[in-house]
Amino acid sequence: MGAAAYIGRIGGLAMALGVGTAIATGHGIAAADDTSTAGTQTNTSDTKTADKTDPDPKTAETKESTDTDPAGSKGTEPAGSKDTEPKTGTTTQPADGVVVSAQTNTGSSTATKTPEPEPEKPAKPKKTARTAATTTTKTAKATTATTATDPAPADTKFAATTTSAVSSTVQPAASVAVFANALTMASQTAAPVPVPAVLRKPVTAVLKAVAGALDWALNNAANSPVQPVLSWTLLAFARREVDHLLTAINPRSAAATGGVATDTTSLALAATTLNPRPGFPYPGQQLSPSTSFVDWVTGNFAPNDTYNRFGIWGTDVGTMWDNGIPDDPTTPINEHQVLIAFGDTFGGANMTGTWRLNTLFRSSDTNLSDGMTIPAGQWLNGNMFGGSPLWGETYARQIILPERLPSGLPTGVTLIPTAGISVPTPGTKYGATQYLSFMSVKQWGAAGQWTTNYSAIAYSEDNGENWYISPKSVRTNFGGNAKFQQAALIRPGDGYVYSYGTPNGRQGSAYVSRVAEKDILDASKYEFYSKGSKGGIFGIGAYKAGWYKNDPSKATPVFGQEKGACGIGKPGNQVSEMSVQYNQTLGKYVVLHADQFNNIILRTSDSPEGTWSAPTVLMTQQNGGIYAPMLHPWSPSTVGTGTDLYWNLSLWSQYNVMLMKTDLTKL
């Protein structure tokens, strides 16, 4: 292809660069002219534009990575949490259950630089055989992609979002955590596809100039006043032109690195040529006497094709909860939804491509027997009920942003959601506030082991579109708070939110605390359940079973420590990813969790604190490695209309989330 093929791209890029940087940078670009050319070239080597074709960059630096070692081996000690006076309370069994939540973990990997999805059909992973694709459609939910970022007021929301997009997409390389048994995991490799050097020459100067402008914007965004909306818009347009140009030069390379191409013909082709589902498991496959695979929730294949629609090739966790917002029948979209939070999210195969620490989907699908449909996004129209919060028309954005962390808190290697819940809040825009517990991972260890900096709670008053972190909710990984680094949340209707916790990693037991709904963001207001202690000699230090305020050290395990000499070898002896809900059909609280053997365990109880039943194994470890069972709040058995229990499950070898079904009558 001759150089003439790029004239149109270069022309558009030059226009965006000339006009955009002149308006956006003003005096800054003049100051840059006084610096040496060598300095400009040095800065260019650190930008995402110059490194676009490298699938494994090592030099990119952002605000999100300032607290961590790029290899994921270091972390910063967090500040301590506050304590206040205790208070007492009692627990009553609720009439019905409302919301499900869960605990999570994911890995982190190499990041690439483009924050927008690639509509060109990318190379497929080579992990499994493929079967013919079948697409599930629900016309009531298939809205035209357009996002939910409200354009007003533009001076604050748009600028903040754009700044986040720039910083989030230049994540440093980091080691990937291992969640499944190493013997069961498929290899994860990705071969780089470099752009030929001869094709780089026509655009080298333009790329360097744009990279310099973007570097200026990135380096000043954190410490300077918010730039005008027009400035950021033009800079974003300039960056998009670079993406278009690189894709035109080598579309295959752009696909391999999560690059962006917005050619309408390619988009139309992608819409009609969905990749087939992986060969294992296949829809309807029975994986145990009680449990079967329904369909995939995420992945670059049917039914939701989350790569072409949201720029998500792979992700995990998928903790779910009811948003608590009633539907408005006068609007075309269903406002009553299930929100689904994911951990580390990648835009390319084998954990490559653009890396987001966390993302979120929404669904109003009530017929789960054929899968869970994710509607299209809503782009720049003020609608907060699309399939995902977006950074671009078909690109899901990160929801928990490092720049919104309370002062002094490190990001760590990643920020992973572990549980979500909705609480009624009269007077807010939609009458409900979403709360999302998350953990800051300090360092990944061996399989099933990692260390956290802290856990905290983010909140959103606009159905998960924008999230903020409460400083009072932070629990540092120290003392009694170390028992509550990962969470599962439930609001049974007795005025309390119950928060189950486990330590970092997968080798701990489960504990429970509770707090008045209005105080959910204040860690000092929580009460912790203890089974009591007989004390030492002559009963010195003994105390009764009950709830103890602001004293997490008194919390005792409610499940996850099997009794007997051989208890350590019994299923369910350890607790990892976890979710809890009240089940109307059973008339009991239900918890799902994985154990030390990667079995998926179900337990029941008459009250949040227990006594919890012995473990029932729903399914054993599967090829590829399974983890993170997350209950669906609208399961027929949960709402009392049937006996089926639906839940999400992550498969490590595919690094995607599956919807599962358990028939409770077969347990």
Give the per-residue pLDDT at 271.
52
Residue 611's Cα: distance from chain center in Å? 32
Give the per-residue pLDDT at 50.
35
Residue 463's Cα: distance from chain center in Å? 15
Give the per-residue pLDDT at 18.
54
Q: What is the pLDDT of residues 440-477, one digit of tens each?
A: 999 999 989 999 999 999 999 999 999 999 999 999 99
Helix, strand, coil: what percent of the chain each, to 5? 25, 25, 50
How many whole angstroms separate alpha carbon 239 and alpha carbon 122? 21
Q: What stretches in the chain show pLDDT beneath 70?
A: 1-272, 563-565
Give the per-residue pLDDT at 564.
63
- Supply the range of the domain harboring residue 644: 101-113+274-666
User: Cβ(133)–Cβ(276) under 8 Å?
Assistant: yes
Please state whether 255 falls in left (phi above 0), alpha (psi between -120 and 50) or beta. Answer: alpha
Give the per-residue pLDDT at 483.
98
Q: Is residue 141 part of a domain?
A: no
Q: Is residue 359 part of a domain?
A: yes
Residue 561's CB: how many other CB atoms inside 10 A?
A: 16
How many whole angstroms separate alpha carbon 514 and alpha carbon 125? 44
Q: Is 496 exposed, middle or buried (0-12, 13-18, 19+ CB in 10 A)?
A: buried
The four Cα atoms 576, 582, 587, 593 give a dihedral, to 10 degrees, of: -10
How would DSSP label each residue in 432-474?
EEEEEEEEEEEEE-STT-EEEEEEEEEEESSTTSS-EE-GGG-
Q: What is the pLDDT of residues 63-88, one digit of tens each?
A: 343 344 433 333 333 343 334 333 33
Q: Give the CATH number of the domain where residue 502 resides.
A: 2.115.10
Query: Which amino acid does the sequence have at 53?
Result: T
Q: Is residue 241 part of a domain?
A: no
Q: Is residue 134 part of a domain?
A: no
Q: Which residues pair with 487 in a beta bridge?
A: 501
User: Cβ(253)–Cβ(191) under 8 Å?
Assistant: no
Q: CA torsion sign, 155 to 158 to 162 to 164?
A: positive
In angstroms, what is the C-alpha Rg of the chain?
A: 25
How many whole angstroms separate alpha carbon 251 and alpha carbon 1? 13
Q: Is residue 60 part of a domain?
A: no
How many whole angstroms separate alpha carbon 550 and alpha carbon 87? 8
Give the per-residue pLDDT at 519.
99
What three-state secondary structure class fits 201?
helix
Domains held by the chain: number: 1
Residue 512's Cα: distance from chain center in Å? 24
Q: Is residue 94 part of a domain?
A: no
How many whole angstroms separate alpha carbon 50 and alpha carbon 210? 10
Give every CB contact of residue 122 below 8 A, 6+ residues apart in sequence.
255, 256, 300, 307, 313, 348, 349
Q: Is residue 11 part of a domain?
A: no
Q: Is residue 54 part of a domain?
A: no
